[in-house]
């Protein structure tokens, strides 16, 4: 059991919704040592619950959202933003003021969550990502005023068990976290898909192109993490011999305005998060 999970050892953790994000966090928590019998999950359809139960036989599964809410101290709301209101309607008459609701939904604000769940409910807005499943998650967290210090620590523990977590002091920064890391794995996957495809066209066997692309992404990320006092631009310049092969590739990426494209893409994510907030509020 990791130190973070030790903090949670007496708590029960529930998931409303058993989709991709719930399965990633839940799997990571169990891998870190939280007993499956301390975890409750609800979902309307049986398939995902059955698959989880097969993998983690001691997990508590149900189709009843209220059953999960009544059994746990930490309730992860892991449904799509537009479903949030209807999913939480199942326990809207319950007193949740001593529990901590942790939303993973993009866009949905604390104000909306407090309208749905009750004004006195401690609410955390989290923005995790799917690498949580393998312990490489990156999560942004924001707490409303009702969240106690103990609940903050336990929330950090949940997400630290599946990667790293950072608290932001302003709620709207969660939308920025969504653009950078919540959606982020997909950005890097697209880049890697393009690298692998071109590697194949340049004659490499697919497995070789994939292995090289993945190890290169991992290596680049590890260099950034292990040199946190070094400008990332410097790490890039260290690879780039004047007049060499890297310069030729970077010239092409810059000519096609990769930094502008990334900026526009992340801004589109933030804009969409605000639209999802509106949809969840209707
Ligand atoms: N995927 C990601 O990388 C990330 C997702 N998120 C957020 O996580 C949330 C979930 O996304 P994701 O896991 O990808 O989506 P999924 O569609 O994989 O999961 C959502 C789950 O909610 C279930 N569900 C639908 N209606 C209800 C209900 N009334 N009560 C309980 N469960 C219900 C669905 O069941 P069924 O399929 O049976 O309808 C489904 O299993 C979203 O709000 C998203 O913004 C945040 C960060 C990253
Ligand atoms: O695409 C989405 O809306 C969710 C939120 C971040 C990642 N997936």
Nearest to 104 by CA among 187, 14, 30, 10: 14
Ordered by where they begin, the domains of the chain are: 3-172 (3.40.50.720), 184-276 (1.10.3730.10)
**137 Cβ inside 6 Å of ligand 1:** no
Q: Give pLDDT, residue 10.
A: 80
Q: What is the mean pLDDT of the chain?
A: 95
Nearest to 66 by CA among 123, 14, 10: 14
- Residue 3: band (very low, low, confident or very high) from pLDDT cuts 50, 70, 90: low
Q: Give pLDDT, residue 92.
A: 84
Whether 158 has a binding-site annotation, put simply, is no
**184 Cβ inside 6 Å of ligand 1:** no
Distance 21 CA to ligand 1 centre (A): 7
Whether 18 has a binding-site annotation, put simply, is yes
Nearest-angstrom CA–CA distance, 256 and 247? 14
Going by the DSSP 8-state scheme, the letter that residue 120 receives in this structure is: T
ipTM value: 0.98
**107 Cβ inside 6 Å of ligand 1:** no
Nearest-angstrom CA–CA distance, 128 and 138? 6
Distance 129 CA to ligand 1 centre (A): 13
- CB neighbour list of residue 24: distance below 8 Å, 6 or more residues apart: 128, 130, 131, 132, 133, 137, 162
Q: Give pLDDT, residue 28.
A: 87
pLDDT at 5 over 90: no
5 to each of 118, 133, 230, how far by Cα in Å? Answer: 29, 15, 32
């Amino acid at each position: 059991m990791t130190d973070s999970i030790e903090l949670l050892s007496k708590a029960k953790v529930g998931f409303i919704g058993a989709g991709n994000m719930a399965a990633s966090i839940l799997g990571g928590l169990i891998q870190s040592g939280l007993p499956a019998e301390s975890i409750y999950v609800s979902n309307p359809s049986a398939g995902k619950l059955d698959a989880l139960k097969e993998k983690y036989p001691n997990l508590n599964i149900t189709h009843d959202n209220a059953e999960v809410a009544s059994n746990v101290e930490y309730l992860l709301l892991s449904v799509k933003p537009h479903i949030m209101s209807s999913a939480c309607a199942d326990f809207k008459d319950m007193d949740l003021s001593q529990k901590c609701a942790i939303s993973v939904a993009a866009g949905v604000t604390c104000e909306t969550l407090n309208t749905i769940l009750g004004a006195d409910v401690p609410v955390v807005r989290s923005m995790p990502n799917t690498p949580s499943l393998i312990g490489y998650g990156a999560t942004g967290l924001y707490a409303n005023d009702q969240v106690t210090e103990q609940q903050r620590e336990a929330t950090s523990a949940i997400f630290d068990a599946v990667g790293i977590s950072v608290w932001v002091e302003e709620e709207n920064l969660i939308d920025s976290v969504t653009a950078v890391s919540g959606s982020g794995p997909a950005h890097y996957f697209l880049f890697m898909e393009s690298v692998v495809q071109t590697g194949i066209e340049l004659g490499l066997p697919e497995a070789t192109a994939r292995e090289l692309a993945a190890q290169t992404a991992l290596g680049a990320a590890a260099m950034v993490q292990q040199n946190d006092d070094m400008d990332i631009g410097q790490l890039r310049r260290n690879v780039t011999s004047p007049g060499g092969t890297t310069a030729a590739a970077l010239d092409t990426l810059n000519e096609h305005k990769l930094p502008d494209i990334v900026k526009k893409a992340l801004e589109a994510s933030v804009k969409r998060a605000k639209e999802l907030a509106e949809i969840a509020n209707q």
